[in-house]
Chains A and B, each alone.
Chain A
């Protein structure tokens, strides 16, 4: 009976709808990627599972993720390193470009991957406390028991991407299995003093040539697809558009060279689209005065995420934000193979930096415990007004804060 029911179900399933299993397995042959359920593009992890979830499952291969840096570029650098570390763990090739810090030093400071059991230990402490509370405390507010439990940080059900411990650096053995290319602008300038670049800032021109060379020479453009195992190239460009890249968009409202960066991004996007690569760029958006430039840069990128840290702002001391270190603004999500994009169900996102982990969470305001304080201050105001008007508060005038 049961077997018959199963048989009919199977038969019915086979007639109309077929899973494209063969197609999926063909795509998934590249390590560290998975096909998107929505648009079929290959996705790779940004190295931060909560960010992947916010961006609709991950970063599609062939797209560009632009990070708007926070004021001191502390947290954007973390995202940058997460992206590269994920590449190391997945065995992808890396291309790291910087004008400030030598790429070798950046790679030395990549965070160490957290093993599953370590991460579970970190997570379990919190969840154990939560579940006990959950059992006991719902005697009065029993109605809330039926509401679905809301996860603080957005996560996906399937396991994709790794977690990293920022308090430790990655062991050098992990690097031995991967191939990486570096682009350090001062070195390049000294090696090749003159490079012909077509109507573009020379630093950007050099960088493009270098990326193009790697993509063509290492076969990421799919030129000899049958010979080699396919792999992904992860490109990371740090602090693009800053003074050190020879660009003046940061230091003037009307820069002389207004189109260099946009030209660079346009060409880079073309390179990415026809190769097995994904790119992360951090850009000091808070220094760019001219909003038109930032708008063009946003339009030329696929995914744009802005970080706003609380350091130095009044929100740092605001009790509403005391659990967080900054806000995450998802400015743009690409529309791939469809008219709509994978918009996350919540727009209010914040990040926090724990001792080992950096996470992106839904912004929850803390419970309003401050009503006693506000009530006393209201009473105090009313009381002092009354005393003054009645005239019998001569003793109390000037001694508002007595210790009763």
Chain B
């Protein structure tokens, strides 16, 4: 009875997982490597910047030889492409300051992505990077911005994507939520990742919370650690977040099943624990010394014990 109810939910979750990511490589990597379509929001704040993640998207798309259009509104081109490898720089197309202060109607940008897709070969899907959405939101009414993004997505080919940077500390949370409802995936940047062993790296790994829109049920929220190397490639540090064990060494097998089970014993014991268990004298062995205590059972009562019950 219960199993047939849970089964679809689990199946849906595993389907979603297979679509988004191979089991080893994590959601973020799958998204960066072309798994995302539609609007991807990169939500950063003053404390943790998200532009490097945008550069990772650009590098990965160039590696797949897809056309990439970068719309720069926050920073000049030089600071965006600092550190990127020359062949990546060469392949990126730019729109700097598309919407300069006497603002034209943003709707006419709708066909931009489509034009970009039409110029390239019909195969690869175009990618548009928007740095940043906050610039637009601070200057235009949110419904207009939403309409413009929807127009960008509509103008693009099937499977096209818009990766937009959003400085979420600049906007009210309700606006961030409303934009999140439009997005297919959101990447919320967090602080530095807790690492088991401090790695001496130029770019310490950081945390990102990946929120994806479920197709049919299933969990959609996952915290992952990542690094972006200066040349714009995405690195996933090998020891991920699975270090929240009980202070022991690294467990040989990952814990099976998501939820912590309510059993009060462990099936896997270490050698020391096994020895400790063997050293304990079981209670019935103490008992064996005092044998011969006679136990005579009570004589069977012939009275009905429930006689006084007036049923």
The residues of A with any CB-CB pair to B shorter than 8 Å are: 72-74, 99-100, 186, 189, 242-248, 250-253, 256, 284, 287, 289, 311-312, 316-317, 322-323, 325, 352-355, 366, 370, 373, 376-377, 380, 395, 399, 401-404
Contacts and interface: CB of A to CB of B under 8 A. Distances in A.
Contacts of B4: 354
19 contacts: A74-B217, A243-B146, A243-B147, A243-B181, A244-B146, A248-B141, A248-B142, A250-B181, A251-B143, A251-B175, A251-B178, A311-B214, A323-B5, A354-B4, A401-B264, A402-B265, A402-B269, A402-B280, A404-B277
Nearest to B177: A287
Given A186-B154, A250-B181, A251-B174, 5 more contacts: A73-B181, A243-B147, A287-B178, A380-B264, A401-B264
B178 to A, nearest CB: 4
Contacts of B213: 72
Given A72-B214, A403-B265, A352 B5 contact: yes
Contacts of B277: 402-404
Nearest to A126: B1
- Taking residues whose C-beta sits less than 8 angstroms from the other chain, chain B's interface range is 35 or more
B273 interface: yes
Nearest to A78: B216
B182 interface: yes
B217 A186 contact: no
A243 B178 contact: yes
A100 B150 contact: yes
- What are the 8 closest A-B residue pairs judged by CB atoms, nearest first? A243-B146, A251-B175, A251-B178, A250-B178, A246-B143, A251-B142, A373-B262, A289-B174
Given A248-B142, A252-B174, A312-B220, A323 B264 contact: no
Given A244-B150, A322-B2, A353-B8, A253 B172 contact: yes
Contacts of A189: 107
Contact of B265 (A72, A186, A322, A401): A401
A353 B276 CA distance: 49
Task: Name the residue in B141, B143, B175, B213 with the highest tally of chain A Cβ atoms < 10 Å from its Cβ.
Answer: B143
Contact of A322 (B5, B151, B216, B264): B5
Nearest to B176: A251
B217 A353 contact: yes
B254 to A, nearest CB: 19
B2 A252 contact: no
Contacts of A366: 2
Contacts of A401: 264-266
Nearest to A399: B276
B273 A399 contact: yes
B47 interface: no
B219 interface: yes
B199 interface: no
Interface in B70-115: 107
Contacts of A247: 143
A151 B4 CA distance: 19
B125 to A, nearest CB: 19
Given A251-B142, A355-B8, A244 B147 contact: yes
B194 interface: no
B18 interface: no
B150 A186 contact: yes
A395 B278 CA distance: 12
Contacts of B220: 72, 311-312
B151 to A, nearest CB: 7
Nearest to B174: A289
A248 B5 contact: no
B19 interface: no
A252 B264 contact: no
A325 B217 contact: yes
B293 interface: no
Contact of B178 (A100, A242, A370): A242
Contacts of B216: 74, 353
A74 B217 CA distance: 8
Interface in B138-152: 141-147, 150-151
A320 B249 CA distance: 35
A123 B39 CA distance: 41
Nearest to B172: A252
A253 B276 CA distance: 62
A189 B221 CA distance: 36
B154 A242 contact: no
Contact of A403 (B107, B172, B218, B269): B269
Interface string B156-178: 00000000000000001011011
